[in-house]
Amino acid sequence: QVQLVESGGGSVQAGGSLRLSCAVSGYTYGTYCMGWFRQVPGKEREWVASITNDGRTNYADYVKGRFTISKDNAKNILYLQINSLKPEDTAMYYCAAPVPGSYACYLRTMIRYWGQGTQVTVTS
């Protein structure tokens, strides 16, 4: 089992920044990547960014240049730095870990472990 606990969400004005954190614990052997997803009510949860164990990153097109995913291996914390926030970034943000052995952290269907989510609200 992998446990994921997000923090760092909040309410900010458009143009502002937030840094989301995800504390990772439990049995992480075979977890080759981690990801962030987000969801608004009434819509499917969508992939935002992911990072492999060797530091390779990928981003959804709509966040490139504004979001940065990173991880602190020593502390077992995953981060998502969000800059230049827009009202359309308002969502619940979730940390995610895939089924063991998978690199498909961008596929919702391959995610086995989810955090409880942290709310990001951007006001105009």
Beta partners for residue 58, in sequence order? 50
pLDDT at 30: 84
The position carrying tokens 């004005």 is 13
Q: Are 95 and 115 in contact (CB under 8 A)?
A: yes
- The β-bridge partners of 39 are 92
Who contacts 48 (Cβ-Cβ below 8 Å, separation ≥6)?
35, 36, 37, 38, 59, 60, 63, 67, 80, 93
39-75 pLDDT tens trace = 999 999 999 999 999 999 999 999 989 999 999 989 9
Question: Taking residues 79-106, what's their average pLDDT?
Answer: 95
